[in-house]
Amino acid sequence: MRIAFLMAPEGVEQIELTEPWQAATEQGHEPVLVSTEPGQIQAFDHLDKADVFPVQLVVREAPAETFDGLVLPGGVANPDLLRTDEDAVSFVRAFFDLGRPVAAICHAPWTLVEADVVSGRTLTSWPSLRTDIRNAGGTWVDEQVRICGHGPNTLVTSRRPDDLKAFCEAFLIEFAKARKPA
């Protein structure tokens, strides 16, 4: 399974990138780092710079239909930058239009709000996004992991880095279900 990991050039919470990436790799999937700019992304450990990671594809040159699923890591700056980039927002929306599963953690649902794909869905996030999600027509819940939908239209969300184990388990299970023929 080919899974896009979408990030801005800086601001991603490193552990929210590396743990899901490792979990996907260990299951034999192909994670692909997609960003709004070529080169590398600068990850953060909270507010401190952490490691850099090479960009594999620029979002404007990465058709969503070439991926089986999408993971949106958080960090405060990362989704805030993504939601101001038209190509990134269109890329995210395309996964929903195609019926491909999406997983988002922490602040990442900001990008979902901007992509106008939250209405009618129940999701979780970092608590400060609660009002944004409700204003976008979604239902916010305070849960470790929330799965909304089933099959190809699944959205998996989690609140914070402490939820990563549950997040990784859930998105890998749901992504696998989405690939199975009905």
Supply the residues annotated as catalytic.
106-107
How many whole angstroms separate alpha carbon 53 and alpha carbon 141?
Answer: 32
Distances (CA, A) of 42 to 59, 74, 105, 175: 17, 13, 18, 27
What phi and psi values does residue 61 have, to the nearest 5 degrees?
Answer: -115, 15
Q: At what angle do helices 164-179 and 14-26 cross, to 10 degrees?
A: 40
Coil/strand/helix, residue 17: helix
Distances (CA, A) of 48 to 14, 55, 77: 10, 20, 12
Distances (CA, A) of 20 to 14, 48, 97, 118, 128: 10, 20, 24, 22, 23
How many whole angstroms separate alpha carbon 87 and alpha carbon 75?
Answer: 20
